[in-house]
Structure 1
């Protein structure tokens, strides 16, 4: 399938803006349900259920069997394992910090695609982008004051977020290698539903019974997070399978996440506010996007 570049860019930015709101949403939800696996399981199971009417058809079971391999990749790497790490990490890091770290994900993707996809090699501008992004991550880690007990927990959370980004990049590459034959919405539905149920099972084992007697604010955050997952992942998997779209270049749009995600978290969360070092780290990560987008084609 062909799609004009401006539409690819517009849809990619929309997905990234939706993901940007999730950091604050997760922190708000944790105020009422500080159980990472259970909270994540509720979010993704609900997202999968919301998508079923739009994705499941008469041949859905045959599609499930036909594409079982890539579905398994995204269920476990993106959701069951990836978001388990993400939600644990969110217990230790602020929403703005998480947004900036997750925004470095395209750097990991660029390195991985260089070694796994023949048509998506790295050039000197991607290399410069990676260097700028790494500097930004180091600045953020220094800002976390790693020699203090609280800082050490935050560093641990940052490492979990980077692991999450690595797993997500690998799953994206697997989806890109298919390029056709499976609907992005159908893939997202299965990722959310089965991954969410696995997380709920993990929550039941490690965190006990689900406490559903929660205030309205919790359910507002939960429904919004489910919608974000359902819509953003559907858009992303659709774009990955568009002809001519390279995974590393598409993932460069995720550099919008640290800027918008940090601003949203600083605006909504009462205990978070920016400082000069966080601005420097965010500037380095966002600068990596500018370098790659502005010069790589030249």
Structure 2
């Protein structure tokens, strides 16, 4: 785009060149047949003049070198290099006429000093005004060129800005389209994901409901078991209290039994002593009885003594048995 702008800008500068513009105008005037035939006549109308194609007319014009390029070139050179001298000559001639007019005015008003001085003053003011006017014209031309350059730059900047805006707009439209597609895709993907997540959550919720019901049933069972356990614990506590009481009673009984055991042991020891003593007495009685059997019949006088001894032993045994009982 910048290359195309540079091309048109360079083309404009070349066309604005007085030599080229004057050559083009002179060529169009000198070769008006080509211009009129190309733009105002059809090919069928040209055939009546003996021209088969447009190139035939151009070839005919090229045969006349004077009109085709020489005369336009002379006109362009004259307009470019001679015409400025002609313009300057015209200006010089106008200034010479004005100067002659001033001299004749001086001659007519020579008798009046005040009029001549006023005329000189007016002429001086006029020249100064003309100089200022020429300077203003020159400045105006410079300003016009500057303004035209600024207009060109402004137009180029506007064109560039417009192209930038259009490019930015196209890019924004592409970006919006891409974002819209991405947004639609994201929405579709999110919708699918949401539906899938919702389905999974519903399944999980159903499982959780089933687990909750199972947990509730288990909780009820646990509550029932806990109540039963609590009842059992209460019962065990009662039994424990009973066992503690029984233990206390058993401890007391154990103490009593221990005391009785000690008493029984002492009694057993006493009984053992009595039995040992009885055994000794029995042995003595057996010995006495044996000795009685061994005594001869002639010793019957000694029986009362033996009987007394046996009776004493028997009394001792009776006493020991009484003590044992």
Q: Decide which structure has the larger Cα Rg and report it.
A: 2
- In the superposition, the TM-score normalised over structure 1's length comes to 0.20
- More relative contact order in 1 or in 2 (CA 8 Å, sep 6+)? 1
